Amino acid sequence: MTITAAADGSALGNPGPAGWAWYVDDAHWEAGGWKHATNNQGELKAVLELFRATAHLDDDLLILCDSQYVINTVTKWMRGWKAKGWRKGDGKPVMNLEIIKELDEAMSGRRYTFEWVRGHAGHPMNEAADARARAVSEAFQAGRPIPHGPGWPRENDEADAARGAAATASVPLARVADRTPAPVDVLDDAVGTDSEPTLFSLDDPDLHEVTLWLTDDEHIRLYERARQEGVSAEELLRSLI
């Protein structure tokens, strides 16, 4: 069996708030990032974490990647760099060496193929990975919680099951009244109580608050749709009224 996955990175300002993500389907994806890093670091980290997440599986990996840097690093340059003591042909040290060494270790003994895809060209899996990586970089920039995703849940693994449940639980999106973005992957204190989301009046009779409950993945898709439209998530929702 072959697992097909897309891996992508994002950095606002490059370097700047950065994210990485790999995506197989809505039940199998993971994302993370840093407050300050480069796009290449995000691209490499996405592939590294994909190998780590699937290390317990005996399947081939087909990795869709829009980064020629990553593909060349893995398929052309890494072996020579390693033979030269992790230095390039001109004797200069290899950049992003820590991640590359970890990637070299994670790939050992694995069966994998890389396939280049053009970024931002409508490829569904590439777009899904890109949206999740960008959501992380934007979350770091805005100081919001980070959407980590469910990872690769393992059968009978209580820790992974709990993580998957948290990632797919409903979370509050936003307060329309004050337009404050809601957390992506941290549950509000009200989640898990017996109360249900309601529509109610505030002190101002002409102003109402609407609480919308979305899954982690729905939240990311909403913000990606809003970004494509050039509006905020709240403005996109208002346009539906």
Domains and CATH numbers, the chain: 2-142 (3.30.420.10), 165-238 (no CATH)
Q: Could you list the active site residues?
A: 8-9, 43, 66, 120, 130
Residue 182 has a pLDDT of: 32
Residue 227 has a pLDDT of: 66
Q: Name the 3-class secondary structure at 121.
A: coil
Residue 241 has a pLDDT of: 79
For the stretch 116-168, pLDDT in tens is 999 999 999 999 999 999 999 999 999 999 999 999 998 655 444 444 444 44
Per-residue burial over 61-93, b if 16 or more Cβ lie within 10 Å, else e, is bebbbbbebbbebbeebbeebeeeeeeeeeeee
Tokens of 41: 């670091």
Residue 136 has a pLDDT of: 98
Look-up: residue for tokens 């796009």? 39
All residue ranges of the chain with pLDDT < 70 are: 155-214, 216-217, 219, 223, 226-228, 230-231, 233
Residue 218 has a pLDDT of: 73
